[in-house]
Chain A
Amino acid sequence: MSALLAVQNLTKRFGRRVVVDGVSFEIEPDEILGVVGPSGSGKSALFDCIFGRTVPSAGEVRLDGRPVTGLRARELSRLGLARTFQRVQLFPGLTVRDNLIAAGQEHRGSLWSRLAGSPDAGLAETAAEMIAFFHLDGVAGQTAGRLTERQQRLLDIAMAFMARPRLVLLDEPASGVDATVLESLRERLRAINAQAGTTFVIIERDLDFMTSLATRLLVLAEGRVVASGDVESVRASGVLKAEEE
């Protein structure tokens, strides 16, 4: 099976400081890749390069074998990549339902049909499904800025699935979410992975959450890959000790 996403020697420099140093790895379709590393290890910088937020200094990114290095986030979104951010990123003045529709509408119809057609861009049903799936029923008509931190995090994650992406990066999805919701979130992500075949990359500090979900781990330190493989073999190698403490 060919890799969904292949990263070759990716490097990002800010002046003399190298934050991502020749990183290479591949993501297979349907897998859940967990990315681990201490704060400042280059996790977010690496995925900012892959997901079009910043342009890498060197290296290559391929999606389905096609080079996508340096493409903008919007273009990558059209190719089926979606992401959340470390800090929740919503449209605070829009309702929960409108946040979800906004997250999917650009993948529906032509520019003209988005002006002349239905105000919900035909996404009302998908939005309702997401609202139910992520337990946001009671607040669907409320503006996102007025939600609790937990509800905002769930909405942030739900938005990433509105365009039915193939690969989703979840940046610290468990942050600000209590244990009960965390369990529910884990089940939901597993269900999406199994039913829709969505591939995940998860950056998370909560190792229990991560290791219970990931099928493979990638460990970063000082901008480099220091270990990679299935959860048990990475655990056995001892590189996670610092994280586990």
Chain B
Amino acid sequence: MTLATLRYAVAGAGALVLIAVPFGLTDYGNYVLSLWALTTIAAIGLNLTLGYVGQVSLGQGAFVGLGAYVTALLTTRGWPLPAAYVLAFAVCFALGWGLAYPALRARRPFFPFITLAFGTFVFLAFRNEEWLTGGIYGINRVPRPSILGLSVAAPLGFYYFCLFNLAVVAAAIWWLRRSPWGRAFAALRANPLRAEAVGIDSRLYSLIAIALGAALGGVAGVLYAALLQYVDPTPFSLTMSVSLLLMVAMGGSGRLAGPFLGAAVAVVLPEGLRFAQNYYLFGYALAVMVLMAFWPTGLIGLAERLLTMLTKPRPAPAKAAP
């Protein structure tokens, strides 16, 4: 079996598990899986920024927050959820583009600082602009949507709704990666000198990747608001941005499946390791350091290395001399 076949087999098996597993779970279990699905979408967005064009963003949490607040503000005023998707996507795309444009003109790596300042600004706006955001009390009674007349208000239904969103985003990223855009991202990451020499516009492609990454943060925010049915500023601090960065790095930046694994380790695994209490965080931090030091391609890179070793045809034993 080749590595490519094995990849498809693992992806298929993973999809089946994600479809089947919620039936055996409590409402809380479905809530955790929904949170994993939307966190994965935010991490996929950050993977575009970090993994595909190599820019460190410390503002992905702010984009998730913007998506969540846009959703809360619109849907509590009677607007349908699709309007929130469109506005959250558009606002975050435009802001991502606007932040990256000046940063990419500079020779020095300013993007982390610009996104750090942006994240802090957005967090303070959420907290202080009470007339719009409700301040520290936030906005509650965010409704869950109905899809073609079917309500997804129940935890199981909402999980499938999140899973559907994740499937659409994953399919779009898969398409992007196999398109000439994906090849341009890969070329820029591998060798910017040659990429420019063959006509690849590094600034334009970087802007596209960063803006799309920010927009996916907004989409994750739409689902976040609908999942919790309440938004307040606390979750959208720098902590969320750093946590998303660690998920991408740990899963495997630049890899399609990296954010899925990274988000699973950060969101789902702690639920199974509750007995470890705060030692889990200690172990998590240690695991990130060890991975980055010895396997910088993350868990996906590590898994692929193991799979390659397993699928490598073994040399036939030498025949004994007559």
Contacts and interface: CB of A to CB of B under 8 A. Distances in A.
A159 B198 CA distance: 8
Contacts, number: 88
A114 B4 CA distance: 25
A151 interface: no
Contacts of B196: 52, 72-74, 77
Nearest to A107: B199
A83 B196 CA distance: 11
Interface string B183-223: 11011001101111111111010000000000000000000
A90 B183 contact: no
B198 A103 contact: yes
A91 B190 CA distance: 6
Interface residues of A, number: 36
Kindly state the interface size class of chain B when it binds its partner.
Answer: 20 to 34
Contact of B194 (A91, A114, A119, A121): A91
Interface in A73-127: 73-74, 77-78, 82-83, 85, 89-94, 98, 101-108, 111, 114-117, 119, 121
A116 B181 CA distance: 10
Contact of A106 (B176, B184, B191): B184
B198 A102 contact: yes
Dominant SS among interface residues on chain B: helix
Contact of B197 (A73, A116, A121): A73
Given A74-B199, A159-B198, A89 B183 contact: no
A163 interface: yes
A103 B197 CA distance: 9
B184 A102 contact: yes
A119 B179 contact: yes
B183 A98 contact: yes
Contacts of B199: 74, 77-78, 106-107, 163
A101 B183 contact: yes
A162 interface: yes
B274 to A, nearest CB: 40
| Residue among A91, A93, A159 with max Cβ neighbours from chain B (10 Å) | A91
A162 B193 contact: no
A102 B188 CA distance: 10
Contact of B180 (A83, A85, A121): A121
B77 interface: no
Given A77-B197, A162-B198, A163-B199, A91 B191 contact: yes
Nearest to B188: A91
B105 interface: no
A90 B191 CA distance: 7
Contact of A85 (B176, B187, B193, B204): B193
A93 B149 CA distance: 47
A105 B186 contact: no
B319 interface: no
B97 to A, nearest CB: 14
A105 B180 contact: yes
A114 B181 contact: yes
Contacts of A108: 180
Given A73-B196, A102-B200, A91 B186 contact: yes
Interface in A141-159: 159
B214 to A, nearest CB: 18
Interface in B159-193: 176, 178-181, 183-184, 186-187, 190-191, 193
Given A102-B200, A105-B183, A116-B179, 8 more contacts: A53-B193, A73-B196, A91-B187, A98-B186, A102-B186, A102-B198, A105-B184, A163-B198
